[in-house]
Amino acid sequence: MEELSLEQFSLVRMLYLQGPIRSSELAEKQLVHKSAISARVEKLVKKGLVERERDEEDRRNVFLTLTKEGRMVYEELEKNINRFVESILHDISEAEMESFLNVYEKIATYIENYEGEEK
């Protein structure tokens, strides 16, 4: 993922999966301030991966979309990530995977039900 930072990849992934979206909505979904999204988007625009499109019905709205190159970069990175994960999982036995998933589920349940420090 030399082409993109983790934050940029996350943004590109969201645009790939959700299609055109306003930067304010993107900031909400990424749990960051609008200014942080603006800076990330600007870098992706300069790389030719994202473009801004004005809403013809309401010119105040600007939607972010992936360019054709942005879609291709995302798809290639996704393939590389999947190959990497598959190579790791290849060496893990079914019993080890079962144990891992059990522990993972317990941790996820604990986090989901966590209510803070006990007093």
Cα separation, 115 vs 118, in Å, equals 8
- Domain segments of the chain as ranges: 6-113
Q: How confident is the model at residue 30 (pLDDT cuts 50, 70, 90)?
A: confident
How far apart, in Å, are the Cα atoms of 42 and each of 72, 95, 99?
A: 19, 46, 44
Rounded average pLDDT over 24-49: 90
CATH annotation of 6-113 = 1.10.10.10
What does the mean pLDDT of the chain come to? Answer: 88
- The mean per-residue pLDDT over the stretch 81-101 comes to 89
pLDDT higher than threshold 60 for residue 119: no
The DSSP call for residue 114 is -
